[in-house]
Amino acid sequence: NPRFKPITAPTQNSQYFVFANLPLLDASRSTVMVDGIFTLKGFLDEEGPYPKWALPRVRWMNKNPAMLCMLDRPRVAHRIDMRVLAYTAASLDVSDPDGEKLASVTLSPGKFSDVSIAYTPKGGKFCLTLAAQIPHPADSERLLLFSKIEISAR
């Protein structure tokens, strides 16, 4: 259930699990939730929430391509979940550090799209590249709107 996020990473020896309840319009919830240390390039600062438009906190991608880099990642399966909106016809490609395309999504104008990817990093630092194909952007400084980018070890 996307409303719940594990607070502690579960292991095979775990006796119990603790989850946080994350309602849609939680003003304290960040748009980017990554276990560990990360850097983000090609995005504006967070803004919102905007209850009038039923939008949580959001972050605009303003450079193409944008990158999300993580440090000290173990070689275990990770889950990448994103929620993204384009105001004009667009697509989004997500690639790993070797240039392997992990996902290619066609975005419907004016509608949020959910993207889920399973990925096992090779370990250490790794970066995800987010490249948008937007033939006629409505605003060259605000390419895609993200309400969620979550990366966690499964």
Residue 14 confidence (pLDDT)? 66
The tens digit of pLDDT for each residue in 105-122 reads 999 999 999 999 998 887
**Residue 24 reports pLDDT greater than 60:** no
Residue 25 confidence (pLDDT)? 42
One-letter amino acid identity for 33? M
Q: Which residues contact 53 (CB under 8 A, 6 or more apart)?
A: none
**Residue 61 reports pLDDT greater than 80:** yes
Q: Are 59 and 146 in contact (CB under 8 A)?
A: yes
Average of per-residue pLDDT across 96-105: 92
Q: What are phi and psi of 30, to 5 degrees?
A: -80, 155
Q: What is the mean pLDDT of the chain?
A: 84
Percent of the chain with pLDDT over 90: 49
Q: Between the CA atoms of 20, 40, 43 and 65, what dihedral angle is there, to the nearest 10 degrees?
A: -120
Q: How far is CA 118 from CA 99, 102, 128, 141, in A?
A: 16, 8, 13, 30
Burial (CB count within 10 angstroms: exposed 0-12, middle 13-18, buried 19+), residue 33: middle
Q: Tell me, yes or no, if the pTM score tops 0.85.
A: no
**Residue 43 reports pLDDT greater than 70:** yes
- Whose CA is closest to 84, among 57, 62, 65, 111? 111
